[in-house]
Structure 1
């Protein structure tokens, strides 16, 4: 079962996605066309690429590399947690 993320809000170029009390900031450009606040998205694939590189040697900037690693680990945790959730919840 793929995790479902809710678009909590859009702040400029960033969208704040929420799942199980955790929040994840992603570029609005990474959302599907027509995505809006309150929309529920299904996470089918995780593809994270470095966005900032050093000017001289094309090496990742350490701060961005650390943030990228943190985001990748967070997505893996979200995917693992959603596998434990039931398909239906009784209210």
Structure 2
């Protein structure tokens, strides 16, 4: 089975269903989970190193809570985790 739609865990799916409180039938349709972690350097640089926020396959990451966010270096780690045994089933 192929994945045709990625959906935020708290938002509306691309097919119109609501994933904030999904019914059991929609939970059974989950085939994979996308995860991202953002690492920030511990040392602040004297000058701004970037003006572009890091991004992942879900979009840009909002770092505006820290006014000096551009003075740090960032690395985004991301992966897709297939739900075990589900991709081979007829769910």
Does TM, normalized by the shorter one, top 0.5? Answer: no
Larger Rg: 2
Larger RCO: Structure 1 or Structure 2 (Cα < 8 Å, ≥ 6 residues apart)?
2
TM-score (norm 2): 0.30
Specify which structure has the higher proportion of helix: 1
TM-score (norm 1): 0.30
